[in-house]
Amino acid sequence: MIDRYLREETPKHRSSASEILRLKAFKRDEGKLCARGMATLKTEDFEGFRDRRLQNVKSATVTRDLDLLHCVVEYSRRRINLAENPINDVRRPKVQNERDIRFQGDEEARLMAALDDCRNKWVKPVVIFAIETAMRRAKF
């Protein structure tokens, strides 16, 4: 099911590199779960995965993993006519990834001074824009 999703669906997604890494890690770490037939998978199986995963990573990562697995199961479920997706009823952990990062002391002045030496004249205005709008990293 995962291999088929990786082969047929993942290449269509903008986040394909991230999906490939997540799904390969799932296959590696959850071999027993991956070896089972889709019809035998239960909500409790994915709740166990959630609980094991929460011991190593933050809740936002677990939520992303569960959402991706939901898509994988849903993609396959429609092709083999399973009645329901067992991940539908898995409670997602509460995500609290609020950030409050500020420049300390003279960090902003030192950054601006370093940007004055940059060969590309557009780097400094872009950095200023990013700071002023609290821009976050994204992949397009």
Choose among 9, 92, 103, 83: nearest CA to 49: 92
Dihedral of the alpha carbons of 69, 73, 76, 79, in degrees to the nearest 10: -150
> Are 85 and 103 contained in the same domain?
no
> Are 36 and 104 contained in the same domain?
no
> pLDDT value at position 15?
85
* Interval 102-112: pLDDT, tens: 888 999 999 99
> Are 31 and 83 contained in the same domain?
yes
> Are 23 and 84 contained in the same domain?
yes
Assess whether pLDDT exceeds 80 at residue 97.
Answer: no
Domain count along the chain: 2
> pLDDT value at position 139?
54
Cβ atoms of 10 and 16 within 8 Å: the answer is yes
> Are 13 and 77 contained in the same domain?
yes
pLDDT band at 28 (very low <50, low <70, confident <90, very high): very high
> Are 76 and 53 contained in the same domain?
yes
Choose among 113, 139, 140, 32: nearest CA to 127: 113
Assess whether pLDDT exceeds 60 at residue 63.
Answer: yes
> Are 104 and 83 contained in the same domain?
no
Minimum mean pLDDT range among 14-23, 32-41, 63-72, 77-86: 77-86
Residues 6+ away with beta carbon under 8 Å from 63: 92, 93, 95
> Are 80 and 104 contained in the same domain?
no
pLDDT band at 81 (very low <50, low <70, confident <90, very high): confident
Per the structure, the complete domain to which residue 68 belongs is given by: 2-89
Residue 94 belongs to a domain: no
